[in-house]
Amino acid sequence: MDRYAVIGNPIAHSKSPLIHSMFARQTGEDLQYEALLAPLDDFSGTLRSFLDEGLGVNITVPFKEQAWALVDKHTAAAERAGAVNTIKRMADGSLLGDNTDGKGLVRDIQHNAGLTLAGMRVLLVGAGGAARGVIQPLLQAGPAQLCVVNRTVEKAEQLAMLFKDLGPISAAGFEWIEEPVDLIINATSASLDSKLPPISPSLIRPGHTWCYDMMYASEATVFNRWAAEQGAARCIDGLGMLVEQAAEAFALWRGIRPDTSEVLAALRQK
């Protein structure tokens, strides 16, 4: 049986094995998918040991940047992102690295939630790896403006410089921007600690502005609760992004993209 895995630390919480098992049943693909805990000081050993026989892996926190350095070839998305969350072992044994996070985010926003990004004013909160991994697909969707806002402005400015050839991108500090936008995407991990990024409530125009938290939990994240209190038109968590990026990985490995709607509905029900 063809073997695949997700590697991270921690990893016990991962929904990837459940998601990919549902994809396999739906598509009739015969595969096994497992979760592997890698030591913080030996990710490469875990990766190479599995790929001696395994055909592909997903990479999660905190190993995506290490994975980028270990593959033989990058897709355009991975090259720009500077991080790899999906690896495919090719027929010649070489490793292809991709980053499906941004594609998953954009598809969740546009296909699942029904918000067209073209012409939108989008605020991306945070300038870390999660933000960098989604900028290229966001710009390819054609927003009127993508502004990266971060506590350390220099980090946001570095990202704006890196992607400026792809579309209208700018950088700002939290205190610099107060005009309402159409969509706010929280790419920080603040929700994991039940904290809010220091953004102004004036960024939300009641009944108009959408808010998206790339984190997800069994209940609404602190960011989405705050957004709802400010009158946001809609508040979305990152579960759909998780499912959509997994479908992109599955398609890279198996050549068939599963239908994500029934999988996402089942996860929401759980």
Residue 26 carries which DSSP code? H
Establish whether 154 is an annotated binding residue.
Answer: yes
CATH of domain 102-237: 3.40.50.720
Contact 67, 87 (CB under 8 A): yes
pLDDT at 28: 97
Q: Where in the chain is the domain with CATH 3.40.50.10860?
A: 2-99+240-269
Asked if residues 186 and 214 have their Cβ atoms less than 8 Å apart, the reply is yes
Do 215 and 236 meet the contact criterion of CB atoms below 8 Å apart?
no
Contact 189, 165 (CB under 8 A): no
Contact 38, 66 (CB under 8 A): no
Q: What is the pTM assigned to this prediction?
A: 0.95
Among the residues of the chain, which ranges form H helices?
A: 16-27, 43-51, 64-70, 76-81, 101-107, 129-140, 153-163, 222-229, 239-254, 260-269
Q: Is 151 annotated for ligand binding?
A: yes
59-89 pLDDT, tens digit per residue, is 998 999 999 999 999 999 999 999 999 999 9
User: pLDDT 10s per residue in the chain (270 long)?
Assistant: 999 999 999 999 899 999 999 999 999 999 999 999 999 999 999 999 999 999 999 999 899 999 999 999 999 999 999 999 999 999 999 999 999 999 999 999 999 999 999 999 999 999 988 999 999 999 999 999 999 999 999 999 999 999 999 999 999 999 988 899 999 999 998 887 888 999 999 999 999 999 999 999 889 999 999 999 999 999 999 999 999 999 999 999 999 999 999 999 999 998
Alpha carbon distance 117, 145 (integer Å): 10
Question: Does the annotation place 218 within a ligand binding site?
Answer: no
CA distance 48 to 66: 13
Query: Do you find a cis peptide bond into 62, omega within 30 degrees of 0?
Result: yes
Is residue 103 flagged as an active site residue?
no
Which of 64, 73, 164, 195 is catalytic? The answer is: 64
Distances 3 to 51, 56, 65, 76 between C-alpha atoms, Å: 9, 7, 23, 26
Opening angle at CA 67, ends 31 and 4, nearest 5 = 5
216 is in an annotated binding site: yes
- 68 within 8 A of 74, measured Cβ to Cβ: yes
Fold classified for 2-99+240-269? Rossmann fold (3.40.50)
Q: Are 231 and 201 in contact (CB under 8 A)?
A: no
DSSP H or E segment with residue 86: strand 86-89
Alpha-carbon Rg for the chain, nearest whole angstrom, is: 18
Domain with CATH 3.40.50.720 in the chain: 102-237
Q: Is 152 one of the annotated binding-site residues?
A: yes
Q: What is the pLDDT of residue 53?
A: 95
